[in-house]
Structure 1
Amino acid sequence: MTEQNNPDDQASFSALMEDLQVRIAFLDDLVEQLNDQVVQQGSEIADLKKQMQLLYRRVESSDLSDGIAAFDPLTNRPPHY
């Protein structure tokens, strides 16, 4: 016994296949965009880390003892007391 292909079934199957192909193409594009964004953010994070390291080195190498006086709460009362 041979099965006869119904034209409506074939059209329905073809439409489903086309829909899946469109979805896959959309998802491929989306994955590529997300990957580009991750790469960009990775380089920005690396730049920020370098900047933070430079700032830490500056703070560690600077001598803050001359610029900041010690605070004594008994002698340095705020003006509203």
Structure 2
Amino acid sequence: MTEAKNIDEQASFSAPIEDLQVRIAFLDDLVEQLDAEVARQGADIADLKKQMQLLYQRVDSSDRSDGIASFDPSNDRPPHY
């Protein structure tokens, strides 16, 4: 009788442990997916920063005598005023 009781106790302990192991496996997979996504987004952000720097350099180095007049909001009024 004690042997049957021990088997029942082991069965009652093994089911929750197996459930926890399954949950841990899913969480490990989720963490790996999130890590890959964060790494991809970090690379995208770095690429966008480089593009913005290039655009700023082009704007700064552009010659303002190309027909684009500078605009001073305190002195220049739009035509609809």
1:13-49 C-alpha deviation (Å, 9 max, x unpaired): 0101100100110010000000000110011011001
* RMSD between aligned residues: 2.2
Cα drift, residue 77 of structure 1: 4.5
Q: Specify whether residues 27 and 72 from structure 1 end up closer, same or farther in structure 2 by C-alpha distance, changes over 3 A only.
A: closer
In the alignment, which residue of structure 2 is the partner of 1:67? 68
Q: Within 1, Cα distance between the matches of 2:25 and 2:19? A: 10
Unpaired runs of at least 5, structure 1: none
> Structure 1 vs Structure 2: percent identity of aligned residues?
64
Cα drift, residue 62 of structure 1: 0.9
Q: Which structure shows the higher helix fraction?
A: 2
Report the count of equivalent residues.
74
Q: TM-score, normalised by structure 2?
A: 0.76
Q: TM-score, normalised by structure 1?
A: 0.76
Higher RCO (CA 8 Å, separation ≥ 6 residues): 2
Q: Specify whether residues 48 and 72 from structure 1 end up closer, same or farther in structure 2 by C-alpha distance, changes over 3 A only.
A: closer
Unpaired runs of at least 5, structure 2: none
